[in-house]
Structures are given as C-alpha cells and as structure tokens.
Amino acid sequence: MSKLLRKALKSAILPASLLVTGKFLSVFFLISYLGNNFFVTNDVTSIFTIQLYLTDIQSALFVNSFSNLITLLVIALPTFYMLIRLTLFKSAQSNPRIVVKLTRLNILKWVTSQESNLVNMLIWTVFLWIIAGVTIASSVNMQTYSWVGILGGALALLSTWGLLKTFESETDRIYPEESNRYL
Amino acid sequence: MASREFKRVYNKLGKFLDPVGLFLLLAVFVLPALTVVNLSPRSNQVNNVLGVESKKDVSVVMVGGVHDFLKDERISFPSEGVSKYEAQMIKHDIGSYSKPILQLSNNYESAMNLEVTGGSSNRTNIPLYLIYREKEYLIQDENGITNVANIRIPDRTKDIMYLKFDTSTPLRFNENVEVTIVQK
C-alpha cells in the first residue's frame, strides 16, 4: 500500500471518531437536558432502519441544531488550530521576518514542535466539509436553525481557503512564480 | 527471519492492497457521515418546523413499553386529525388493569377538543376506560356498548392517556382493542 494512502488512513481515524462521538454525545446530552422522552423505532421503509424520534417538533429542532453545532465545532476547532500552525510554519520557512516575529511572540517552538503536513490538513478539511454539508442539508430541510447551516458553510469555506493558500505557498516554494528564479 | 519474509511478501503484494486502502479511506469518510445523519432525531409531527404551523394539531405519540396483558401495540394516522391506536389484549383473570398508551401534547395557546371512541373486537363484557388527567372516560361498557368520549386537552400540556379494563369474568382468549381519536 502506498505511503500516502497509509498516511491518509492514519490521519482519518481521529476526525472520524470525533465526528461520531461528538454527534452521539451531544444528542443524548441535549435530550437529557430537555428532559424529553425519546423513542427508538425500526423503520424498514427508509434507508436507516433504526431511527430516533422525539415527541415534539420544537425539541427535535433544538436537539438537531445544537448537536450539529457542537459537532461542527468539534471538527472545526482542531482544523483551524492546525491550519493556523501550518500557515505560520510554511510562512516561516519562506520568510525569515516571520521567524523573528514568532520568536518575539514566543510561539516558535509551538509552530515547529510537530511536523505539520498538508495531508493531515486536507483530511480534516474534508471532514469539516462533511459535517458542514450535513448541517446545510438539515437547514434546507428545516430540521436545523438556518444560522447553524450558514455558520457551517462559512467555516468550511474559510478552512478551504486557508488550505488552498497554504498549498499555494508550498507549491510556490517548489515552483516559484517569479521567472527570474529559473535558469 | 519471519519479519523479513513478511516484508518480502508484503512488498510483492503491496500494490494489490491499494484498492483495498482506497475503499477503506472512502468508508472512513462515508460511514461517519451516514452515522451523523442517522443520529439526527426526528419528530412524529410533519409540520413546519419553525414553530408556525398552518394547522393546529394535538400530537399523539404511542408510549410503548411492555405490559402483561397488552401487546402488539401500533398507531396509525388514517387521515388528517385522526389517530388510531390498536393493541391485542391477552387473556387474563379477574382484575383491574391499566397501561399508559398514548402521550397527548398540545403546544398551542388554546385548548383542543378530541372525540374518542373505541372498543374490543368481540365486544366482550369488559368495560374499557380511558384515563386522562386523573379523569376516567368510559368508551365501552359491560354490555359491550361503545360510547363517545369528549376530552378537552388544555393548552400547552403534555400528558399521558391510560387504557384501563376492569375484568369481572376471566378472559379466555386474546382480543383486539382499538381506540380512535378524532380532533374536532
């Protein structure tokens, strides 16, 4: 198996687990917070045979919205943390002034402590897109508050933009834009 | 020695594992997404979720659970504003039995009125009552004659309705029970 594939598989396990765990815990925490009854039924007519039902529509809307929001944040926060560190790391590699600034702020060690890589970042961004997509679809179907869907879309777009900028700076290092750098 | 052999075989067959790896990677993306979608709870109401409903409805939800003498419970909604609860009463001895069967929720600012009828399939001499907010409503008397019960659901309430049957002679065979709720 290729190294890249193995790396991707290894990187994907943590965000996948966080996604499922975050959603599961947030749903049941919110249901117990509301003190609502819930029913688990078998519904062979739909794709998923086991479905969770709440007794009233307002509770379902509340639980769906906030559980999607919590899951979104669980994926978005590590993604942006890694993105910021990766961006600073890549910038520091190409610009010595940034190294000076990082040293002054006393965060150079944090930036360089762990090798940041684009594959890891890409996997996390894909997971952010997955949860943002689920949230947006849920908002369109009016099962989630619209502001949660908008927030999900915005976070996913920001993360993608950050990743593309970092990728651009990385490729610029290998294939510089300025023609005078070529022989 | 064994690890060297393993590495040799792995290097030889490694290229065949790429499609498996790709499939696993796809599964790692797709399965959590499906799980997240499946974990999103739904409600039994099929109305506008933003809280502004075009038609006021009392939400009727089956409580479920296990009971010694009522089984195979099911609920259906044959038309708008009509809910039908059906169950099978298992043969039992003399006694008074009750079970919570339905949860009635009225989330609106005004009270709602329900017309409830019901009975057993063979109209045996078992009086059937519905208990709601500590009040009993007779829907089938000891002669098997059915009555219509008018039940008022106060505004912004969520209460359980119980089915009660008083058996004065042992029931020797299973019998079907149904309760129909019509919103006025």
| Total tally of structural domains belonging to chain A | 1
B64 and B121 belong to one structural domain: yes
Asked, for residue B54, whether it belongs to a domain, the answer is no
The answer to whether residue B42 neighbours chain A at the CB level (below 8 Å) is yes
Whichever domain contains B162, its CATH number is 2.60.120
Interface touch B49/A55, C-beta < 8 Å: no
Distances (CA, A) of A167 to A11, A31, A163, B51, B68: 18, 42, 6, 45, 66
Which of A31, A56, A144 would best serve as a mutation to test chain B binding (most B beta carbons within 10 A)? A56
Average pLDDT, chain A: 83
For chain A, the residue count is 183
pLDDT at A171 over 70: yes
Q: Name the residue among A16, A56, A142 with its Cβ closest to that of B32.
A: A16
Asked, for residue A16, whether it belongs to a domain, the answer is yes
B34 and B98 belong to one structural domain: no
Asked, for residue A107, whether it belongs to a domain, the answer is yes
Rounded to whole angstroms, how far apart are CA atoms B24 and B21?
5
Rounded to whole angstroms, how far apart are CA atoms A77 and A155?
10
**Tens digits of per-residue pLDDT, A12-48?**
999 999 999 999 999 989 988 887 777 777 665 556 6
The answer to whether residue B52 neighbours chain A at the CB level (below 8 Å) is no
Interface touch A130/B32, C-beta < 8 Å: yes
Asked, for residue B82, whether it belongs to a domain, the answer is yes
B151 and B81 belong to one structural domain: yes
Asked, for residue A151, whether it belongs to a domain, the answer is yes
Rounded to whole angstroms, how far apart are CA atoms B79 and A152?
38
Rounded to whole angstroms, how far apart are CA atoms B84 and B101?
12
CB < 8 Å to B9, chain A = none
Q: What is the pLDDT, as a whole number, of residue B54?
A: 46
Which has more confidence, A15 or A111? A15
Interface touch A6/B21, C-beta < 8 Å: yes
Asked, for residue A9, whether it belongs to a domain, the answer is yes
**Tens digits of per-residue pLDDT, A137-163?**
999 988 889 999 999 999 999 999 988
Asked, for residue A167, whether it belongs to a domain, the answer is yes
Asked, for residue B53, whether it belongs to a domain, the answer is no
Give the HSE-up count for residue B83: Cα atoms under 13 Å, Cβ half-sphere: 21
The answer to whether residue B38 neighbours chain A at the CB level (below 8 Å) is yes
Asked, for residue B21, whether it belongs to a domain, the answer is yes
| Total tally of structural domains belonging to chain B | 2
Asked, for residue A45, whether it belongs to a domain, the answer is no
Give the global pTM: 0.58
With 0-12 / 13-18 / 19 or more C-beta atoms within 10 angstroms meaning exposed / middle / buried, residue B89 is buried
Asked, for residue A50, whether it belongs to a domain, the answer is no
The answer to whether residue B25 neighbours chain A at the CB level (below 8 Å) is yes
**Tens digits of per-residue pLDDT, A50-75?**
778 787 778 888 899 999 999 999 99
A93's enclosing H/E stretch is helix A57-94
ipTM value of the model?
0.81
Strand B82-89 vs strand B70-79: parallel, antiparallel, or unpaired? Answer: antiparallel
CB < 8 Å to A68, chain B = 40
Which of A55, A61, A67 would best serve as a mutation to test chain B binding (most B beta carbons within 10 A)? A55
Which of A24, A57, A138, A144 would best serve as a mutation to test chain B binding (most B beta carbons within 10 A)? A57
The answer to whether residue A125 neighbours chain B at the CB level (below 8 Å) is no
Asked, for residue A40, whether it belongs to a domain, the answer is no
B24 and B74 belong to one structural domain: no
Strand A50-54 vs strand A38-42: parallel, antiparallel, or unpaired? Answer: antiparallel
B27 and B95 belong to one structural domain: no
- For residue A60 the two structure tokens come to 């379902």
Answer yes or no: are the C-beta atoms of B140 and B67 closer than 8 Å.
no
Rounded to whole angstroms, how far apart are CA atoms A179 and A137?
45
- For residue B137 the two structure tokens come to 């409503």
Question: Which residues span the domain enclosing B142?
Answer: 59-183
Answer yes or no: are the C-beta atoms of B159 and B103 closer than 8 Å.
yes
With 0-12 / 13-18 / 19 or more C-beta atoms within 10 angstroms meaning exposed / middle / buried, residue B105 is buried
Asked, for residue B16, whether it belongs to a domain, the answer is yes
Interface touch B40/A71, C-beta < 8 Å: no
pLDDT at A177 over 70: no
Question: Which residues span the domain enclosing A17?
Answer: 3-27+58-181
Closest CA to B113 of B139, B151, B67, B158: B151
- For residue B121 the two structure tokens come to 């399939």
Q: What is the pLDDT, as a whole number, of residue B79?
A: 82
Model confidence at B51, in pLDDT bands (50, 70, 90)?
Answer: very low
**Tens digits of per-residue pLDDT, B120-169?**
877 667 888 999 988 999 988 888 888 899 999 888 888 899 999 888 88
DSSP A95: -
- Report the b/e string of A88-98 with b at 16+ CB within 10 A: bbbbbeeeeeb
Distance of CA B12 to the CA centre of its chain: 57
